Structure 1
Amino acid sequence: MKENNFFLEIYDEFFHRITWPKWNDLQATTMIVSFFSIFLSIFLYGVDVFFIFLIKRLFSL
């Protein structure tokens, strides 16, 4: 396979065969991912604080 042909095929696939998401879909998906990332981090922080409290309580006896 020639290198020139390889790069032309990459260009063709990248610009003509890939369907890119619309801007509104991209924004909505980004907001959903951001919301769940923040929610998960707050939830895991709460679980971590709970387990730290529980371990301190168990070992302080």
Structure 2
Amino acid sequence: MTKVVNYISEAFHELKTNVTWPIWADVQRLTIIVAVFSIVFALLTWGVDELFVKALEGFFNILK
């Protein structure tokens, strides 16, 4: 158990001393970019899905 506690303690020390954290404005800007990209990608995926649904419905209606 001592090894685990020591590992966690060293990991936190590493994060505090050796990691360069971005400034808050950069975090906000990048978060907005990721959110917008995620929404656009979700809408594109939904659009392609709807396109395939319509195409398959048309294909199976032809086979009837």
TM-score (norm 1): 0.82
TM-score by length of 2: 0.79
C-alpha deviations, 1:11-61, integer Å up to 9, x for none?
Answer: 331211111110000000000000000000001100000000000000101
Q: Quick one: which amino acid aligns to residue 42 of structure 2? A: S
Q: Which runs of 5+ in 1 are unaligned?
A: none
- Shift in alpha-carbon separation, 1:7–1:58, aligned structure 2, 3 A: closer
Identify the residue that residue 17 of structure 1 maps to in structure 2: 18
Identical pairs, percent: 33
Q: 1:42 — aligned with what?
A: 43
**Distance 1:11-1:53 versus aligned 2 partners, 3 A rule:** closer
Stretches of structure 2 lacking an aligned partner (at least 5 in a row): none
